[in-house]
Amino acid sequence: MTDTAEQATWPVVRWFEQDRLARIRMPVGGIGTGCVSLGGRGQLVDWELFNRPSKGLPATTFFAVHVAGPSGSHTRALEARLDDVEHEGPHGSTSTLHGLPRFRTGRFGAAYPLGTVQLTDPDLPVAATLEVFNPLVPGDADASGIPALVHRVRLINTGHEPLTVAVCGSLENIVGATQRPDRSWTVPDGNRFELVESEGVTTLLGSGGGTDGGRGESDGTLALSAVGPVSSHRTSWAKRSWGDSLLEFWDDFSDDGRLEHPDVPARVPTGSLVRSTDLAPGEEAAFTFLVTWHFPNRYGWTHPPSDPGAAQRSEVWVGNHYATRYADAADVATDVALRIDDLERRTVAFVESVRGGSLPPVMQDAALSNLAVLKSPTCFRIDDGTFLAWEGTNDDTGSCHGSCTHVWNYQYALESLFPELAWTMRSVEFEWSTDDRGKMSFRTGLPLKENGTEWPIAAADGQMGAVVRLLRTHRTAPDPERLRRLWPKVRSAVEFAWIPKGWDADRDGLMEGCQHNTMDVEYYGPSGVNQSWYLAALAAAAELAREVGDDEFAVECDQVRISGAARTDEVVHNGDYYAHVVMPAGSEDAIA
C-alpha cells in the first residue's frame, strides 16, 4: 500500500487485509427493504431484494475503470483479485465474472454501515477506494429505511503523467427472477432499461413484464444511477452466445473508455453508465453511483404449530412500507441524490460516536457490525410501517417466524436506536398477540388482526421480557397515549402468570409452573434466568401502572416482586449460583 492508499475518507474501526477478505459480506440496504452484500474484495453479491432471503442470487453487476495516458491504457474491474478458493468448483470458478482482470491487492475497512475497500496494483498509475453504504441514522427510521446502495469510487493519479479515467457501472436487470427447484435462478423475457434524467442524476430504470399478474415477489423495478453527467451509456449489452456478451462489452469499454450501443440487445439486458474526467498527477476524483430498487409485493408467513421451522409464504399480501414512500426505483434514486450529503454526514456522525469511545476496536466493530441484522432479510416493515422479523434466515427462506418474543427479547438495538419501530413491536406483542386471558402468542401470525393470537403457546421469558421492553421503549421515547392504549393488555399479560396452574399460581413471586422459554424446552420449577425476567417484569409493571394511574396494581406487583426476590434467594440460590430447581408437574392436568 502506498501512503495515499493508507488514508481513508470514512472512519474505519478494523482493517482486513487481502488474505482475510474471502468471508466478508456486508449487507447494504435499508431497514425492511432487502439488501445487496458488499464482499471483501469489493464485489456485489447476494441480491436479496425480492422479499425473501436469496443467498447466492447472481447478477452481472460490477464496476470497472479505464485509465488512458501517454504511456498506454489499462482496464480493470474495481475489485481485488479472487481468493484461491474462488477458482475451485465442479465447473471452474464459482465467482461471477471470474475472468475479468482485477487489482492486484485490496483490503477492507469495516465500520458498519460504512464499507471501505482500498485497491492497488503496481502495474496501474491509479489507486482506487470504494466507499459503499446505506444510511443508518438513529432516531430516523425512514432515513435508515431507503432501498438503496450508494457506491462511490475514488481514484487518485499516483503516476507522473496526466490521465483520462472513466468509471463504468453495469447492472443486470433481474426483475422477475424466480428460483428453480435446483436453486438456480432464471430471468423472464421482456425486461428492459429506460434512460431517465432528472435533477443531476442519470438513471437506467429497469422493469419487466410482470409475473403472476404483477403480484409476484420479484415484480417491481431496479435501477442504476450516476450522480452527475455521464459520458456514455448502454441500455443493454449485445446479444451474443455464452459469455461473449461480456467480452463484447469489455472490448468496447477497453477501447476508449466509452460505450457504443449494440446492434442487437441481449435477452436479459445489462445496462451500463460511464462517467469520465481528466486527472493530473496527484489529483483525485470521486464518482458516485446508486443502485436502487422497489419491490412492493411482500406476503405473510404461515405458522403450522407442528413445525415452526417450516413456516413459509402465505397468500396474504402484507406489502412493504418503503414501497408506500416511493413510486419506483428511479424515484428512490432522485430522493437519495438530493439528500446524499446529509444522509452520509449523519451516518458518519453515528459511526464516529461509537469509534470515539473507549471500547477497543474489536468491540467497536462487534457493536456496529451486529446492527447489520436490522438491514438484512431477517427484518421487514409491512405496508402500515409495522416492524416484524424472523429469528434469522436460511439461504432462501426465513428461519422461525413471528417476531418471536423469546428471541427478540434478548436484543437492545431497536429500542436504543429506533424507538419508533420498537413501539410497533410493542403493539404487535400486546395489541395483536395477547388474547383476552393475557396469553401472548410468542409467534405472531399475519395478518395481525386476524391471526395475531393463533400460535397456541406463550413463552415465559418472552412474555415477561415484553413488559420490560415496553418500559425501556417508553423511557427512550415517552408516549403516554400509546401506553394507556396498551395498558389493559399489559396488565393482563402480567396477571397471566397468576392463573390457576400457571407460572406463579400462588403469587409468591416464584415461577414453579411449566414455562416454555428460549431454550425451546419447558422448564418445570424456578430458574435464575426466568426469575430474572419475572422480577424485572413485576418492577417494570409497577412503574408503568403508576404512570397510567393504576396504583392498586402497582402495589400488588411490588408485593409479589418483594416476595419473589426473597424466595429466589431462598430456593434458587444454592450457595454458589442461581440454579434451576426442577419441580415436575406430575401430570398434564397440573399444567395450565
For residue 88, the domain's CATH number is 2.70.98
271 and 418 in a common domain:
no
Task: State the residue range of the domain holding 127.
Answer: 3-303+321-336
Is the pLDDT at 224 greater than 90? The verdict is yes
360-380 CB burial, b ≥16 within 10 A, e <16: eeeebbebbbebbbbbbbbbb
The owner of cell 482485477 is 102
User: What is the model's pLDDT at position 2?
Assistant: 34
d(CA 252, CA 259): 6
Asked if residues 490 and 541 have their Cβ atoms less than 8 Å apart, the reply is: yes
- Specify the pTM: 0.95
The tens digit of pLDDT for each residue in 191-201 reads 999 999 988 89
User: What is the model's pLDDT at position 423?
Assistant: 98
How many structural domains comprise the chain? 2
Q: Which residue has the higher pLDDT, 179 or 143?
A: 143
Domain assignment of residue 342, yes or no:
no
**Percentage of residues of the chain with pLDDT beyond 90:** 86
| Backbone angle region of 419, left / alpha / beta, with phi > 0 → left and psi within -120 to 50 → alpha | alpha
433 and 331 in a common domain:
no
User: What is the model's pLDDT at position 6?
Assistant: 52
Instruction: Over range 91-120, report the average pLDDT.
Output: 93
CATH code of residue 505: 1.50.10.10
**Residue 113 preceded by cis peptide, ω within 30:** yes
d(CA 447, CA 388): 12
d(CA 30, CA 136): 8
239 and 151 in a common domain:
yes
Among 107, 103, 133, 110, CA closest to 118: 107
Q: Measure the N-to-C terminal CA separation of the chain; round to a whole number of Å.
A: 66
115 and 243 in a common domain:
yes
The tens digit of pLDDT for each residue in 324-368 reads 999 999 999 999 999 999 999 999 999 999 998 889 999 999 999
Dig out the grid coordinates for 352 from the structure.
464516529
Q: Which residue has the higher pLDDT, 35 or 310?
A: 35
410 and 295 in a common domain:
no
The helix/strand/coil state of 538 is helix
Domain assignment of residue 387, yes or no:
no
422 and 296 in a common domain:
no
CB atoms within 10 A of CB 160: 11
User: Where does the pLDDT of residue 307 fall: very low under 50, low under 70, confident under 90, or very high at 90 and above?
Assistant: low
429 and 330 in a common domain:
no
66 and 197 in a common domain:
yes
Domain assignment of residue 365, yes or no:
no
Q: How many residues does the chain have?
A: 592
d(CA 93, CA 549): 67
Tell the burial category of 289 from Cβ atoms under 10 Å away from its Cβ (0-12, 13-18, 19+).
Answer: buried
Q: State CA 577 to chain mean position distance.
A: 38
User: What is the model's pLDDT at position 314?
Assistant: 86
Domain assignment of residue 450, yes or no:
no
Q: Which residue has the higher pLDDT, 56 or 291?
A: 291
Dig out the grid coordinates for 80 from the structure.
481485488
CB atoms within 10 A of CB 267: 12
DSSP state of 422: H
d(CA 473, CA 489): 16
The owner of cell 443531476 is 200
Of 293, 311, 336, the domain-final residue: 336
Domain assignment of residue 101, yes or no:
yes
291 and 409 in a common domain:
no
Domain assignment of residue 235, yes or no:
yes
Is the pLDDT at 241 greater than 70? The verdict is yes
As a whole number, the mean pLDDT across the chain is 94
Q: State CA 171 to chain mean position distance.
A: 21
Could you tell me the sign of the dihedral formed by the alpha carbons of 45, 48, 50, 52, in that order?
positive
User: What is the model's pLDDT at position 308?
Assistant: 58
Ranges 155-159, 194-198, 213-217, 266-270: which has the least confidence: 213-217
CB atoms within 10 A of CB 167: 28
The tens digit of pLDDT for each residue in 516-550 reads 999 999 999 999 999 999 999 999 999 999 999 99
143 and 25 in a common domain:
yes
418 and 330 in a common domain:
no
Q: Which residue has the higher pLDDT, 2 or 110?
A: 110
User: What is the model's pLDDT at position 132?
Assistant: 98
The helix/strand/coil state of 97 is coil
Domain assignment of residue 201, yes or no:
yes
256 and 135 in a common domain:
yes
Is the pLDDT at 591 greater than 70? The verdict is yes
Q: ∠ at Cα 481 (477, 483), nearest 5°?
A: 70
Is the pLDDT at 300 greater than 90? The verdict is yes
Dig out the grid coordinates for 255 from the structure.
477501447
Domain assignment of residue 352, yes or no:
no
